[in-house]
Structure 1
Amino acid sequence: MMLKLKSLIPLFLSCVLVISTQSCFDGDDYDFDKLSEKVDWTPNMIVPVGYGTYSLWYLLNQHEANPADQTLVLDAEGMLHIKYMEEDIFSYNVDEVLNFPDQSAIDLSYSLPNISVGVPHGSLPETNPQTDQIQIITGNSGVLLYELDLNTDIRFVLSNPLNTTVELFVSIPNGTAGGTPVSEKFTLTANETNHVETLNLANLNLLFNTPHTTNNDLDITFDVNILDNGGLITSTGDLGIELTFQNIDFLLAQGDFGNQNITLDAGNFDMNVDFWDDIEGDYLFADPRINLYMENSVGIPFQINADITGYATDGTMASLNPIPEAQFQNPPSTISEVNIGVKDTLTYDKNNSDIVALMALPPSDRLEYFGSIALNPVGAIAPTPTAPNIISNSSAINVDIEIDVPLDFTATNLVLRDTVNDIDISDADKIMNAAVVIVTENGYPLNVSINKIYFTDAAYNVIDSISDNQVIDAAEVFTSGDQMGEVDPALVTEVEHQIQLTQSQIENLNLTKNLIINAGVSTENGGVAVKLKGDYELKFTISVQAQIDLNN
């Protein structure tokens, strides 16, 4: 196709220059009946330059030693595709959705009986359990926690105002650690201040108070047992309690994580399609696609608001512009799905984006991607305690991109450019007449014409030029039915073509150091998009016929 048809041009042009009796060509394999006898002068030298049969797959991929470097692949039906994969173009992890900063200390107190005047132990009023509310602070505003699994420590700083030993019982009514209710006893000696205790809680499950609020309240219950000191018991105030959640390592969270908007890291990549740098003109791919492959273990409905902009080497640009309705579907909705993760694919095509214009740009310089993700977007079903948002400490979203462009296209006025450098022809003055004869049986659905060949000196100043018309006639394709756009093998024919050099062109070969070639490629067939298949073949024989001044 256009990607490497440019590599045929030097092959044809070399025929003009290889007027030599030295050749590694095997005449026994060459069909001399293919050599033209239609020139207007009698050649005294016929040099068979080349022959061969090239499948389109071989022609386009022979230069890639490493299959991993190939941007061209064959599908199961033999169709050629440009394919490119870039991993992790969009990603975010759980820290951007839910995190727990260092927690502030919570000051509480347990109300003791008014015993400023000493009383014997038997006369103390009865003490009762006291329940207070504490909060776990999240680093994301608007988060309502319904349930939380975590590992944590609770640090207590306790002060006992009594002149006797006190046992303090601590429990979290809606909390279990490893399946066991959270309950602990601390012992404080008489008049002890700043007594430190640490409650280590592994696999702690917490149920938050209802109605749920962004305060994320929990109940904690205290009770005391005042021991007998054998005398009068006095108090100077209430039992002081300061507690701090430390080393929060959350395992699983269920709740309503609000309408967060997460900015995705922007980036860019080059598809490394070399031929895009060597062509210009008008062409359209019939069915290009961009596939976004997502691995998602974040159990929150989301909407991706992202775009991709392509830049050509001349600075022009075009954007994908996907419609807002083009979205991933069905994020994880259960704890099992969050733990395992789900996979999903979002395809941008000609029906939901401007991908045809983007690929026709072409994006020869780079593709840039950018965007954001809206969590619990407008229109999504609001989370509830029975259908919550769910995330784990390993939750993440990763999106890979695959660009898939089937070589199913139309082209008009497509110009390929190439340069042949370091030409050294010193005996052109011996050539009286010269012509290149090309016999082709073209199974490619592409018309190729050499519009102009410029002869230049070492500084690329134009000395002379060759203008020519069609060199390779396109194979005709089916214009209807299931094989529409594919080559009709019954209509592949053999065609002969010759390029004859003028006297001035022959004379200027001595001065020529470079050749600049402009070739045109087009598809016809009434606008039907042609499909390129790897087994399409081009058969050709090439000869150079020359009339040499044998006396010079």
Structure 2
Amino acid sequence: MILKFKSLIPFLLASILALSTQSCFDGDDYDMDKLSEQVDWTPNMIVPAGYGTYTLWYLLNQHEADPADQTIMLDAEGFLHIKYLEEDIFTYNVADVLDFPAQSALNLSYSLPSFGVGIDYGLLPTFSPQTDQIQITTGGSTAITLYELDLNANLRFLISNPLNKFVDLSVSIPNGTVGGAAINEVFNLDPNLPNQEKILNLADLNLLFNTPYTTNNDIDIVFNITVIDDGGLVTSSGDLGINLEVQNIDFQLAQGDFGNQSILLDAGNIDMDVDFWDDIEGDYQFANPQISLQMENSVGVPFQINADIIGYASDGTSAALNPDALQPNYPNAVSATNPLAIDAITEIITYDKNNSDIVDLMALPPSDRLEYMGDITLNPVGAIAPTPTTPNLISNNSAIGVDIEIDIPLDFTANKLMLRDTIEDLDISDADKIMNAAVVIVTENGYPLDVMIDKIYFTDAAYNIIDEITDNEVIDAATVFTTGAKIGEVDPSSIKEVEHQIKLTQTQIENLNKTENLIINASVSTSNGGVPVKLKGDYELKFTLSVQAQIDLNN
């Protein structure tokens, strides 16, 4: 908030009016030797109107009662920064990458020979195992190929037994294990009864999908039957019917190829709450602003961030960050301590002047808001392609969270950066007593900023201009080192005591009676051959103000 210096300007200018609204002061605290005697008329009144020493840190933060509201920060070396942090601007989780909708039921049949009017049990043929396929369907518009899946699920069977005998139906999944043990469940079926419901509970299930891997995500399931001998002939009315449905999929860990998905990120906006951006216009540039994305990622899929930030000024103009597309790091292995978890990794992605248009964005300035939007591309071009040995990985608690931190070191150049402020509701009734008046300002400026008064407008209550003051330099900048390790920092040897006068003409004095508002247009510039100045919190401005006047003592 370098431009909080605008708060000094009305303070300086309001001193002109101290002749008619003089307040008490402690003369012991005031350096009377710094009151000027250089005006070209002889004053009969010298009023000490102000004095003080102000550090940059005080000027920029004294208005914030709560430290949590401060956007100006000091770094370890005492340099000033504008900083802003917003959490969870971008998030996506497992459901955005992989989900399992309700699975379609599958109608199968176990082929039985025709037994005609009946056959003796001892003449039954040997029943061979029959292998069928279950398909695991994934959601979304992108085809996903699964290599391996850890999950909890149920297999629901509706089985119709056409035999007049009890039947044991054996169900096995060759490429599946439950808790490390092979899956082999036997269901006992009643004679001549359709739609017998049987549930196979599969907790802690590991599945290996059929090769060659396809987006069908096939798994073999093997059926075999044993007819129970209870005496008498065996009859049948057809094949044994099996209606199969995979239910209640609760996956723990998936490995596969999740495709070239594009995930839209939630858009939002940021108000950095930098007060002075509403009150300035002109040419300035920060030397090294940065936007950092602080990421925590437990989604084991290579991805690319395709996002942008657009800043809007109060007048509606805009500028974009235009960052380079980046492919951050991602976890590529399951946890050694928990084979069903993926350890999150953290990373900071930084956009700066080398990979974005952040300098133009912050020079806009974004006084209204910053809007962010974009998407994430999974398995982008150029990333390591998923294979069974380098699969995409995702667990049921995988997620990506992204916080954004904006860091603008107050390291900048400025050329006639215009400031505007207004002093309202003035009541000046004794200006007719003033014959001559001047404000004398004595400064030791440790700030690397030149402050210029462009215009001071006297206006009536409706802000119609009555008169104006045009002035020259008021506060001379301290110079900075232009080479070496301290480049941009103030050279202490350049800080000198400087005196300046603002004189009022007779017309301006006469117009004070009609003045109800003062509008001040000022500007701030840096010099130093274009070397950016670096602002430190302990830079000081020392000043003494006095108002000198000739008063008509007979009036």
State TM-score, norm by structure 1.
0.97
Partner residue in 2 for 1:143: 144
5 Å-filtered alignment, 1:286-325, equals 286-324=287-325
**Partner SS, residue 266 of structure 2:** strand
Q: In structure 1, what is the equivalent of residue 120 of structure 2?
A: 120
Q: Provide the C-alpha distance between the structure 1 equivalents of 2:276 and 2:177, rounded to a whole number of angstroms.
A: 65
d(CA) in 2 for partners of 1:527, 1:545: 38
Query: Which of residues 536, 542, 545 in structure 2 aligns to 1:539?
Result: 542
Alignment of 1:35-434 (within 5 A): 35-140=35-140, 141-324=142-325, 327-336=326-335, 339-434=342-437
List alignment gaps of at least 5 residues for structure 1: none
- CA-to-aligned-CA distance 1:302-329 (integer Å, 9 cap, x gap): 11111111111112211111223xx243
Question: 1:119 and 1:35, CA in 2 relative to 1: closer, same or farther beyond 3 A?
Answer: same
For this pair of structures, how many residues does the alignment match? Answer: 550
SS of residue matched to 1:294: strand
Please name the residue that 2:442 is paired with. Answer: 439
Deviation, 1:155, is 1.0
Distance 2:282 2:531 in 1: 18
Partner SS for 2:9: helix
User: What is aligned with 1:466?
Assistant: 469
| 3-state SS in 1 of match to 2:194 | coil
Q: Percent sequence identity over matched residues?
A: 72
Larger mean Cα displacement after TM superposition, 42-51 or 237-246: 42-51
Displacement of 1:330 in angstroms is 2.0
* Partners of 2:2 and 2:467 in 1: CA distance: 26
Q: CA RMSD in A?
A: 1.3
CA distance in 1, matches of 2:489, 2:409: 13
Secondary structure, aligned partner of 2:59:
helix
- Who is 1:10 aligned against? 10
Read off the aligned partner of 1:52 and give its amino acid letter: G
| Aligned mates of 1:122, 1:68 — CA distance in 2 | 88
SS at match of 1:25: coil
CA contact (8 A) 2:2 2:60 kept: no
Alpha-carbon distance in structure 1 between the residues aligned to 2:91 and 2:301: 15
The 8 Å contact of residues 84 and 402 in structure 1, kept in 2 or not, is answered as yes
How far has the Cα of 1:181 moved from its partner? 2.0
Q: 1:175 to 1:226 in 2, by over 3 A?
A: same
1:505: Cα distance to partner? Answer: 1.2
Residue 340 of structure 1 deviates from its aligned partner by: 2.5
TM-superposed CA distance for 1:433, in Å, is 1.6
- What is the distance in 2 between the residues matched to 1:202 and 1:21? 86
State the secondary structure of the residue aligned to 1:277: helix
Partners of 2:494 and 2:164 in 1: how far apart? Answer: 110
Q: Contact 1:103–1:136 (CA<8 Å) still a contact in 2?
A: yes
How many angstroms does 1:279 deviate by?
Answer: 0.6
Letter aligned with residue 244 of structure 1: E
Deviations 1:235-286 (A, max 9, x none): 1111111111111111111100011111212222121111111111101111
The equivalences for 1:12-27 within 5 A come to 12-20=12-20, 22-27=22-27
Q: Deviations over 1:211-249 (max 9, x none)?
A: 100000001111111101310001111111111111111
Q: Which amino acid aligns with 1:318?
A: A
Distance (whole Å) between structure 2 residues aligned to residue 189 and residue 90 of structure 1 = 56
Is 1:502 aligned to 2:505, yes or no?
Answer: yes
Cα distance in 2 for partners of 1:179, 1:450 equals: 82
The one-letter code sitting in structure 2 at the alignment partner of 1:263 is L
For the residues of structure 1 that align with 2:533 and 2:442, how far apart are their CA atoms?
23
TM-score by length of 2: 0.97
The answer to which of 399-408 and 472-481 deviates more is: 399-408
For residue 193 of structure 1, give the secondary structure of its aligned residue in structure 2: strand
Q: How does 1:448-459 map to 2 (within 5 A)?
A: 448-459=451-462
Aligned equivalents of 1:206 and 1:2: distance in 2? 63
